[in-house]
Amino acid sequence: MVDASGDSKSILLVGAGGIGAPAAWALALAGVRALVLVDEDAVELGNLHRQILFEESGVGHSKVVALAEALGREAPGLDVSWFEGRAAPSTVAELVGRAGVVIDATDNFPTRFLLADAAHLAGVPIVHAAAVRWQATVLGAAGHGKPCYRCLFEDVPSGALLDCATAGVAGPVCGVAGAVAADRAIRILDGDRTAVGTIVTYDGLTDRLRQIEVHPRANCALCGAEATIGTIDARRYTNAVTCE
Which positions are catalytic? Answer: 164
Minimum CB separation of residue 88 from Zn ion in Å reads 22
With CB under 5 A as the contact rule, the residue among 11, 43, 105, 148 that binds Zn ion is 148
Nearer to Zn ion, 4 or 220 (CB): 220
Note whether 101 and 181 are within 8 A (CB).
no
In contact, 26 and 178? CB cutoff 8 Å: yes
**Whole-angstrom distance, CA of residue 100 vs CA of residue 192:** 13
Binding flags for Zn ion, 92-131, as an x/- string (CB under 5 A): ----------------------------------------
CB 14 within 8 Å of CB 41:
no
Among 128, 150, 184, 187, binds Zn ion (CB under 5 A): 150
Interaction of residue 223 with Zn ion, rule CB under 5 A: yes
Give the C-alpha distances (Å, rounded to integers) separating 163 from 103, 123, 201.
Answer: 20, 30, 18
**Where are the extended beta strands (E) located within 107-154?**
126-132, 135-141
**Closer residue to Zn ion, CB minimum distance, 92 or 229:** 229
Query: Out of 220, 229, 242, 244, which residue is the one contacting Zn ion (CB under 5 A)?
Result: 220
Residues binding Zn ion (CB under 5 A) = 148, 150-151, 220, 222-223
